[in-house]
Amino acid sequence: MEAGQVSSAATRRALVLTGHLKEIDKGSSLVVRQPCLEYSPPELNSEPAFDIELMQGLLDGHDAQTRTFIFNLMSESDLFVSRRVGRRVFLGADYNQPMEVQRELTMKRIQYFLDRGVFRGWLTDDRPQSALRMAAMFEYIGLFDHSLAIKLGVHFHLWGGSVKYLGSKRHHDKWLMPTEEFSVIGCFAMTELGHGSNVRGIETITVYDPSTQEFVINTPCESAQKYWIGGAAMHATHTVVFSQLHMNGKNEGVHAFIAEIRSPDGRICPGVRIADCGHKIGLNGVDNGRIWFDNKRVPRENLLNSVADVTPDGRYVSNITDADQRFGAFMAPLTSGRVTIAVSAVYQSKVGLATALRYALSRRAFSLSPNEPEVLLLDYPSHQHRLIPLLAKSYAMSFAACDLKRIYYNRKPEHAKIIHVLSSGYKAMFSWHNLKTLQECREACGGQGLKSENKVGQLKAEYDVQLTFEGDNNVLMQQVSKALLGDFFTSQKKQQPMKGLGLEHMNEPPPTIGTNANVRDVKFQLALFRLRERDLLVKLAQQVRELVSKGSTMANATLASYQLAEDLGRAFSERSVLESILSVENSLAPSPEKTILGLLRSLFVATTVDEDPVFLRHSYLSPDQALSIQKEVASLCREIRPFILSLVDAFGIPAPFLGPIAFDWIAANSWDLEEARS
């Protein structure tokens, strides 16, 4: 048929249809309206399972009243309200606003907290319970907005923490209270254009002038400019500068100095140049900047001197003579960033899961047969498989995060290694989990996941940076394995048993994995995870030794073994997480809470095994066992499905921190609401 004939035939059909429609009266019964979809709350599609308040207490670990206090404080101000839908109020930052507006609002929100005494004692109260109280507030502030949490984290944890833990009494007396009061606004100048994770390699240079008793700081080349410095572009008045200290022709390594970069009236100080890093894919409420130093002079007393000092006449003094040990002691107190990132990542994964799972308990799609209602998204096995294993992982990681906080905030000098290793492994593991979870939740919400107001999609951009700052995740996993390898070599050299880092299991004979083992059996789970960890450690040691025997340096041999090293880092972290959830489970008497945690633990293990090719690659499991475990993932998802809403509610995420699709998404998109807006 030719084009003209096609057009003519189409016109005739259109005319016939038009004639039929004209014959239908407006009130005719020939037009029958089908009943519209109605919102069905998740509560109608779930079963009560356990004591939700008790479970939330286990997940949060501490300071329930503090969390309620900071949430109520935010709820009382329009600075934190993003939208009202009927009687429901939503809290959150508006990421559609220009960068300049987001930055201004971040400072206004900080001032709001400051006026109400929120920051009192954050640096000057040394009690562990005060630190945990601050951590609880940070976690809930982060639920509101990542930029606000990071801006405060830079000021208190990085700037304030450096002054507190790298400095001495003279620094504490001068700087800590003004920092709490925000009469000083601090930032943290470590990262450079040319050096990030490799702090030892930074190129900023500082020398000492004994004639004036001042340090002179310089940026010798463009790659030495300080980069991504939160707070530097607009608001910070002072910074901790990390620099190579050259004394009498010798480089004494990286040290930290306090430098003023802005006067109280906001003018940039002499000897300092500052530029804005500009717009980012997320965190636009933080004013990241770049800093150059041109013969910037600071008083001798501004050297943070907990590890080393310089006398007025220019002598370098330190109780630690070994440069490597001195660098380690210098960096050890700066682990708070990794701790807070690990905890924050778990909380954000909960926001994504709470949103996607509540939506999946109310949204339907497709009927399995004619005249039957459409099926809830969460009743599809594939949808369960997408989200419920991630829920189990977030539960397990929550308990591990609580353990990490308890160690960190009650730390003693002998805890330095375990804090470094755990915070490195958890920061990597948990932030990877968060991004994977947010991506899956975004997709599971369909088109609604793309709307900024529903948060999930936007959180991906906001939290992507967690994979990079405070240490690249792959580098951190290699640091974990490096520490384990060092302990293993030391143990063998001294012919002593392994001690610390949870590696005592290596002093026992290797566990045997039976062919008929039950994946839900605790002994099987521990044996399997410990077998993987010990075998990867032995294989890594063998590979490194073999390369060294062929002429490689220890450093190059370790670098060449990066695949085994990263696998070992994950194995250590996942074994530690398993032990954390098991510890909580064992603390409970027989109860519904204990039963559901057992199911979640088993799903965490089964999913981890199913996703990690290492278990088959190194024959820890047979193909038949791997297939059986994969089937067990689906079975556990089905068993946990009826209790999903209770599990989500136990996250304790206040409803205003979620997006509209977590609730009545039909009402949130109604024309009546649109008219009310305009």
What one-character-per-residue DSSP string does 392-456 give?
HHHHHHHHHHHHHHHHHHT--GGGHHHHHHHHHHHHHHHHHHHHHHHHHHHHHTGGGGGSGGG-H
The tokens for 295 are: 């013969």
Q: Do 234 and 272 fall into the same domain?
A: yes
Same domain, 488 and 592: yes
34 band by pLDDT with thresholds 50, 70 and 90: low
**Cα 105 versus chain centre, distance:** 23
**Tens digit of pLDDT for each residue in 175-200?**
999 999 999 999 999 999 999 889 99
At 116 the three-state DSSP class reads coil
The kind and range of the H/E element at 91 are strand 88-91
Question: Annotated binding residue at 191?
Answer: yes
Tokens linked to 670: 């109604």
Mean predicted confidence (pLDDT) in 153-177: 96
- Determine the Cα–Cα distance for residues 348 and 438; give it in Å rounded to an integer: 8
- The verdict on 245 and 387 lying in the same domain is no
In a domain, 627, yes or no: yes
Same domain, 414 and 448: yes
- Would you say the pTM of this structure is higher than 0.85? yes
Q: Which of 664, 655, 643, 670 is nearest to 50 (CA)?
A: 643
Q: Indicate whether 542 and 453 sit together in one domain.
A: yes
pLDDT digits (tens, 9 = 90+) for 450-509: 999 999 999 999 999 999 988 899 999 999 999 999 999 999 999 999 998 999 999 999
Confidence class for position 352, pLDDT limits 50, 70, 90: very high
Q: Is beta strand 238-247 parallel, antiparallel or unpaired with respect to 250-260?
A: antiparallel
pLDDT of 18 above 70: no
CATH of the domain at 254: 2.40.110.10
State whether 463 and 574 are in the same domain: yes
Instruction: Check whether 658 has a pLDDT greater than 80.
Output: yes
Tally of domains in the chain = 2
Residues 302 and 336 in one domain: no
Reported as a single tens digit per residue, the pLDDT across 273-312 is: 999 999 999 999 999 999 999 999 999 999 999 999 999 9
Write b or e for each residue in 172-195: b if 16 or more Cβ atoms lie within 10 A of its Cβ, otherwise e: eeebbeebbebebbbbbbbbbbeb
Are both 456 and 577 inside the same structural domain? yes
- Residue 151, in any domain of the structure: no
DSSP 373-405: PPEEGGGSHHHHHHHHHHHHHHHHHHHHHHHHH
Give tens-digit pLDDT for 389-417. Answer: 999 999 999 999 999 999 999 998 889 89
The reply, when asked if residue 230 is annotated as ligand binding, is yes
Report pLDDT digits (tens) over 310-351: 999 999 999 998 888 888 888 877 788 999 999 999 999 999
Long-range contacts of 365-370 (CB under 8 A, 24+ apart): none
Q: Which domain holds residue 215?
A: 186-322
pLDDT-derived band at 426, boundaries 50, 70, 90: very high
User: DSSP code of 126?
Assistant: -
Amino acid of residue 171: H
pLDDT of residue 35: 66
Instruction: State residue 333's pLDDT score.
Output: 73
Report how far residue 66's alpha carbon sits from residue 141's, in angstroms, rounded to the nearest whole number: 12
Q: Does residue 2 register a pLDDT over 50?
A: no
In the predicted model, is pLDDT for residue 264 greater than 70? yes
How far is Cα of residue 85 from the mean position of the Cα atoms in its chain?
Answer: 30
317 with 355, same domain?
Answer: no
Does residue 152 have a pLDDT over 80?
yes
For residue 371, the model assigns a pLDDT of: 83
Characterise 541 by phi-psi region: left (phi > 0), alpha (psi -120 to 50), beta (else): alpha
Task: Output the furthest CA–CA distance in the chain (Å, rounded).
Answer: 105
Per the domain annotation, does 84 fall within a domain? no
Q: Is there a single domain that holds both residue 348 and residue 398?
A: yes
Same domain, 587 and 468: yes
Q: Based on the domain organization, do 402 and 480 belong to the same domain? A: yes
Which of 299, 309, 306 has its CA nearest to residue 333?
Answer: 306
Helix (H, G, I), strand (E, B) or coil at 584: helix
CATH classification of the domain holding 441: 1.20.140.10
Residue 19: is its pLDDT beyond 50?
no
Residues classed as catalytic: 470
Distance, in Å, from the CA atom of 76 to the CA atom of 487, rounded to the nearest integer, reads 52
